Structure 1
Amino acid sequence: MAAPPNVLVLSGHDPSGGAGFQADLEAIGALGAHPAGVLTALTRQDTHDAYDVWPIPDERFAAMLDTLTADMPFAAIKVGLLGSPGQARCITDFRQTRPGTALVVDPVLRAGGGGQLAADPVARALIDVLLPIATLSTPNAGEARLLCPDAADLDDCGRQLSRGQPGWVLITGGDEPGDTVTNSLFHDGAPVRRFHWPRQPHRFHGSGCTLAAAAAARLAAGDDVPAAVAAAQQYVADALAAGFMPGGGQMIPGRLPRRAP
């Protein structure tokens, strides 16, 4: 049997299993790729909110990354929560030696419940070293505004983030008001592509991680960016429809087929 394509996951650990590393593993595996990766941080969070972040030390992160990637080839990389600017530079150095590997960056700057997940130096590292080399970045509306504080509106954010860059930017609208969720795909010099989805009646924890990981899996399988983005959104819509509430806070996407116990 031919091996599935490998996707390198670099994200934080969510003890609730709703977001972060576990969400990435589930989504990538469900879409037929093989996830392997290195944790960027441990967190204290639940289905309500995130409260603390404890970064993996840069030297340990780099050592784990070097060991893993010396053994396995990767068709795509998915980056979520970063623990430090040093991790961003390490990932950038790794990616520059593999320019043909798709890089999906989900700029996790705060939790869905409002808790702060990254300090300003991490955001600066995202802007300066990671986003310019990303194949696709997937900020939600709030994150896009944090990355572009002087932007006039979300479209201006998309133009700023994609201007002069080779990659694509998908700004998601799940955190915006309204009965319809509008996601907008930007590419420098190209018309904006809009995707409209009916809003689910619940709040979800981990939908952004799920979307970015799904896009990475589809890019690893050979899709171009617009096709990967479209397929990832459909997967997320199905996962949200199958969502469930494991705790007392937000629901999480049903990323995997499940049987009743």
Structure 2
Amino acid sequence: MSVPLSAELAAQLMAQLVARPCVLVFAGLDPSGGAGIAADLQSVAGQGAHALTVATALTVQDNDRVYGVQPVDGAMVLRQAQALVDKVTVRAVKIGIPGSAANAQAIAEVIARLRRRQPELPVVLDPVLASGHGDLLSRDDAVQALAPLLPLVTVLTPNGPEALALTGAADPSAQAQALRARGCRHVLITGGHGDGDEVVNRWFGPGAAPMQRLSDPGPQEDSRNWNWPRLSGAFHGSGCTLASAIAGQLALGMPMERALELAQQYCYRSLRGAYTVAPGQRIPQRLPHI
């Protein structure tokens, strides 16, 4: 004979059935809704995960230009994060603009605390150094501000210009080697700022298929490439979309190669369905992953 469940136990079981893995997001507020926290919320949700958002900066921007950045105080960044991690289990971390060197240090402190309990906690960093038009997104030197975060990174997702700024090297393999030497376990260098009919995204790190060895006997990074048809026009928040999708997939427990594959598929579909809110860059349409 079955025993009826109490209302409290039934509620607990239901909560477990509908629970979503959580991604702790550190990002700036973009009033246009195209990038930053807004993009992260939508992209993480699109993977079937939930975003816990910590605001690192307030910005003045539209879908094209950034006119001002006001970092949130580092102590407030810590308080926002602590209130969340004290109650919620975090399955992945995604970092956008820290806003300041002090905030980057605060974020590094939060990750260090989390990793004491979860040594393998995935951390995805989108190293946004400037807007697409070159507008700065940090009060301090953006490259230097990222220094305390790089050794904690599971996946770094720079575009070509960002990888060049972070390393000073022009060759993607050399860029990846330099970034991995600084502690980044995986590096996905995206090709959206390149030329040609295809966008080439290059993954360097453990598990990437070995690249073809050329006559050069020097050290080479193992890599895998993904090629995507280049879409016309420009997009606001494409990097946020990709990095947050990766974090969402890792929070779901996907292995690295599959997480990168699914996140790129999601980003490509979002850009292909992008819509307009004003003249200039289009907004990715971040729908649930199908």
Fold equivalence (TM over 0.5): yes
1:148 maps to: 167
2:198 maps to: 180
Kept in 1: contact 2:24–2:52 (CA 8 A) = yes
Aligned match for 1:20, one of 36, 46, 66: 36
Q: What secondary structure sits across from 2:42 in the alignment?
A: helix
**What displacement does 1:123 show?**
1.8
TM-score (norm 1): 0.93
Q: Match of 1:41, as an amino acid? A: A
Over the matched positions of the two proteins, sequence identity in percent amounts to 42
1:50 maps to: 66
Q: Give, in whole Å, the separation in 2 of the partners of 1:10 and 1:199.
A: 29
Matched, 1:86 2:117: no
* Structure 2 unaligned residues grouped into runs of 5+: 1-16, 207-219
Q: Give, in whole Å, the separation in 1 of the partners of 2:165 and 2:267.
A: 24
Aligned residues: 255
Q: Match of 1:38, as an amino acid? A: V
**What displacement does 1:64 show?**
1.3
1:159 maps to: 177
Q: Give, in whole Å, the separation in 2 of the partners of 1:21 and 1:256.
A: 16
Aligned match for 1:171, one of 175, 189, 199: 189
Q: What secondary structure sits across from 1:71 in the alignment?
A: coil
Kept in 2: contact 1:136–1:225 (CA 8 A) = no
Q: What secondary structure sits across from 2:231 in the alignment?
A: coil
Q: Match of 2:271, as an amino acid? A: L
Kept in 2: contact 1:219–1:225 (CA 8 A) = yes
CA offsets, 1:181-206, max 9 Å, x none?
Answer: 01111116851111110000111111
CA offsets, 1:42-97, max 9 Å, x none?
Answer: 11111111121110011111111111211211000000011111211122122122
* Structure 1 unaligned residues grouped into runs of 5+: none
Larger radius of gyration: 2
* Equivalence map 1:1-261=2 (5 Å): 1-97=17-113, 98=115, 99-118=119-138, 121-126=141-146, 128-149=147-168, 151-163=169-181, 165=183, 167-187=185-205, 191-256=222-287
Stretches of 4+ aligned residues off by more than 3 angstroms: 119-122
**What displacement does 1:240 show?**
1.0
